[in-house]
Amino acid sequence: MNLYRGLSGEALALVRQHQDVVDRLPRTFLVNTLTEIEKWPTLFDPEQAYFRALFAELAALDASDFRQVFGSLADFEARTGCDRVKGDGPEVLQSRLLNHLQRQGQYAAWRREIDALFQRLEPRVEARLNTDRAPRLVVILYEEGIAIERETLWKRFRSLGTRVPLDLAGAQARDPFVRALFTGRPPGDGSGATLFEVLSQKSGFTPLSAWILEAGDSLCSLREQAGHSDCATGLSYARLRAYRERLAEAIYTKVTSGGVRGPQELAAWMKTLELDEGGKPVHPDPKVAAFMRDILLSGSGTLIINNTFVEWGAVQALRRVQPQLVVARFGVRDKMKPFSSLLLFSKPRPTDQIPILQDPLGSFIDVELLSYYIWLNAEEVPANRQNTLYLLLADGVDEMLAVLPASRQLPAPRRATLMDVAATMAHRLGVQLPGSPGKPIWDV
């Protein structure tokens, strides 16, 4: 049984360096760790740093600490016979172990063991990480067309945020709103560099330092207008339509051909699924290309619902990449279709098809919850915790909600312009927007 087949480069060197402790790990923990580091070439820098810290902490555990962290899981595996399960390679063994636990009705109990183990282990690993404490900014936008209900807008943030009245000054429509917000120039002024362009000139900034996740493509279009498409990593659900359809078609064909025997086997196969766009990669950065595929195939509903794609993409970027800037722009989703045509990777029958209609009110209900999920998940990441400014805005709405680092409350601020908001974002990230008349609202 070769558990290390598929490992190479730094991932294999990491295992070999800590072989003594690796050989002592409970089997289910070991194979899950190995399947993750098999993806080493597509892991982002914070993910690779996490695994280095994990193996260093494992190697530092003495016998007593090792028993404290892993003893309960080891006992569980002995009771359930996990040590008798064999498999050549970590993915095969992982699949067989999960099948074994499910047949015994022990899967839920195993998940509880794993969760308890990480509650003991994670603080130790986090203490080893040199967390980048650079100021961070998350901007959450509601696109024009979402049916905003002012009396309930951002209600989940009421105890956390500060509301800022805005003077839109002619920037009520989508395009002027977005341009003023990200250039700091008055509506009607088509000049000026975007925040993304300015950040790209900052020392140490790379396209992975700023992420755009959006349902439409207004931000990606703004980023490209000056010929600087590489100044931020932008993923647009609308622009990925052809890629999404090819993914769904490939999986539908795989399932209907009888090539998989269950959901776990399907999940394992999907991890290997790679599609291009007419012979070209879906993204020039292979890590981002793998990220896109993972978002569309691992998130619940991300392949068929635009706002779910935005939320899950933002959450995963905040966790995996830990950029200094994330902009999540929600849009109007389509009305939900009959269940028979929403089955993932299915093809609806002609009798199931109905005209595509948008659902502005349903979109508002969704994005209110999805915005809160972004904040909740971001604050679980040490690099973001108590170190991130969150700004929530909606096209045409003369109000902004700000959640300050550590959820600090401030006295009600003055009425601000979109140029002031732009200056606040730039100031937070340590840059200035050239030619902008805006003034930062706070020194955050």
Task: Supply the pLDDT for residue 340.
Answer: 46
Q: In the numeric block, which tokens belong to residue 350? A: 């002609």
Task: Supply the pLDDT for residue 346.
Answer: 54
What is the H or E stretch that residue 135 is in? none
Q: What mean pLDDT do residues 344-365 have?
A: 68
Q: Is the pLDDT of residue 368 over 50?
A: yes
Pairing of strands 233-236, 399-403: unpaired
DSSP assignment, residue 321? Answer: I
The answer to whether 116 and 69 are in contact (CB under 8 A) is no
Among residues of the chain, what percentage have pLDDT more than 70?
88
Residue 298's Cβ-side half-sphere holds a number of Cα atoms within 13 Å equal to 15
For 155, other C-beta atoms within 10 Å of its C-beta total: 11
Residues 6+ apart with CB under 8 A from 160: 375, 403, 407
Task: Supply the pLDDT for residue 7.
Answer: 86
DSSP assignment, residue 152? Answer: G
Q: Is the pLDDT of residue 347 over 70?
A: no
Residues 6+ apart with CB under 8 A from 280: none
The CATH fold of domain 136-428:
Alkaline Phosphatase, subunit A (3.40.720)
Domain residue limits, the chain? 9-128, 136-428
* Nearest CA-CA partner of 347 in 253, 273, 243, 258: 253
Report pLDDT digits (tens) over 55-69.
999 999 999 999 999
Task: Supply the pLDDT for residue 276.
Answer: 63
For 411, other C-beta atoms within 10 Å of its C-beta total: 5
77-98 CB burial, b ≥16 within 10 A, e <16: beebebeebebebbbbbbbbbb
Find how far residue 404's CA is from the centre of its chain: 21
The answer to whether 238 and 329 are in contact (CB under 8 A) is no
Report pLDDT digits (tens) over 228-271.
667 899 999 999 998 888 888 887 777 777 766 666 666 666 66
Task: Supply the pLDDT for residue 337.
Answer: 64
CA distance 199 to 397: 27
Q: Is the pLDDT of residue 352 over 60?
A: no
* Nearest CA-CA partner of 175 in 164, 191, 188, 194: 188
Q: How confident is the model at residue 409 (pLDDT cuts 50, 70, 90)?
A: confident
- Range with the largest mean pLDDT of 162-171, 295-304, 346-355: 162-171
Which one-letter amino acid corresponds to residue 99? N
